[in-house]
Amino acid sequence: MAYTAMIIGGGISGSLCAIALRKAGISSVVWEAYDGTADNVGAFLTLPVNALDVLHTLDVDISELGFGTPRMTITSGSGRKLGEMPYGTALPDGTVSRTVKRADLYRVLREHTIRCGVQIEYGKRLVDAENTGDAVLARFADGTTAEGDLLIGADGLWSRTREIIDPDAPGPRYAGLINTGGYAHGITLGGEPGMMNAIFGKRCFFVYTSHPKGEVWWMANPARATEPTPAEMAAIAPEEWRAWLIDLFRRDCGPAEAIIAATDKIFAGWNTYDVPTVPRWHRDRMIIIGDAAHATAPSIGQGGAMAIEDTVVLATCLRDSPDIASAFTAHEGLRRERVERVVEQGNRTGGWKTLGPIARIPRDLIMSLGMKHMARTGNDPSRWIYDHHIDWNKPVHSSP
Ligand SMILES: Cc1cc2nc3c(=O)[nH]c(=O)nc-3n(C[C@H](O)[C@H](O)[C@H](O)COP(=O)(O)OP(=O)(O)OC[C@H]3O[C@@H](n4cnc5c(N)ncnc54)[C@H](O)[C@@H]3O)c2cc1C
Read out DSSP for 354-389? T--HHHHHHHHHHHHHHHHHHHHH---TTHHHHT--
Q: What is the pLDDT of residue 40?
A: 46
The 3-state DSSP class for residue 281 equals coil
Degrees, nearest 5: CA angle 149-152-157: 160
Rounded to an integer, what distance in angstroms lies between the CA atom of residue 243 and that of residue 231?
19
Q: What is the pLDDT of residue 1?
A: 66
Q: What is the pLDDT of residue 350?
A: 73
Q: Are 260 and 245 in contact (CB under 8 A)?
A: yes
Burial class (CB in 10 A: 0-12, 13-18, 19+), 22: middle
More confident residue, 64 or 382: 64
| Positive/negative CA dihedral, 271, 277, 280, 282 | positive
136 DSSP β-pair partners: 131, 148
Rounded to an integer, what distance in angstroms lies between the CA atom of residue 26 and that of residue 120?
15
Q: What is the pLDDT of residue 18?
A: 98
Q: Whose CA is nearest to atom 52 of ligand 1?
A: 298
The 3-state DSSP class for residue 25 equals coil
Residue of 7, 30, 32, 177 to test ligand 1 pocket, by largest number of atoms within 8 Å of CB: 32
pLDDT at 261 over 90: yes
User: Mean pLDDT throughout 156-171?
Assistant: 97
The 3-state DSSP class for residue 289 equals coil
Note the pLDDT tens digit of each residue in 310-360: 999 999 999 999 999 999 999 999 999 999 999 999 888 777 777 777 777
pLDDT at 41 over 70: no
**Helix ranges (DSSP H) in 217-356:** 230-234, 238-249, 256-261, 291-294, 303-320, 324-352
User: Mean pLDDT throughout 384-390?
Assistant: 96
Residues with a CB atom less than 6 Å from ligand 1: 8-14, 31-34, 43, 45-47, 51, 124-126, 154-156, 160, 179, 290-292, 298, 301-305, 307
Q: Are 152 and 314 in contact (CB under 8 A)?
A: yes
Q: What is the pLDDT of residue 11?
A: 95
Full strand arrangement of the beta sheet holding 67-68: 44-47, 98-101, 67-68
295 CA: nearest ligand 1 atom: 19
Note the pLDDT tens digit of each residue in 262-280: 999 999 899 999 998 999 9
- Mean residue pLDDT across the chain: 93
Q: Which of 67, 53, 23 is nearest to 316 (CA)?
A: 23
Q: What is the pLDDT of residue 42?
A: 72
Q: DSSP strand E in 44-80: where?
A: 44-47, 67-68, 71-76
Note the pLDDT tens digit of each residue in 105-143: 999 999 999 999 999 999 999 999 999 999 999 999 999
Q: Are 321 and 330 in contact (CB under 8 A)?
A: yes
How many residues belong to the chain? 400
Q: Are 295 and 175 in contact (CB under 8 A)?
A: no
Question: Of 2-6, 86-90, 236-240, 334-338, which gets the smallest average pLDDT?
Answer: 236-240
pLDDT at 382 over 80: yes
Q: Whose CA is nearest to atom 50 of ligand 1?
A: 298
pTM of this prediction?
Answer: 0.95
User: Mean pLDDT throughout 92-98?
Assistant: 97
Q: How many angstroms separate the alpha carbon of residue 133 from the centre of ligand 1?
A: 31
Question: Of 37-46, 113-122, 220-229, 348-357, which gets the smallest average pLDDT?
Answer: 37-46
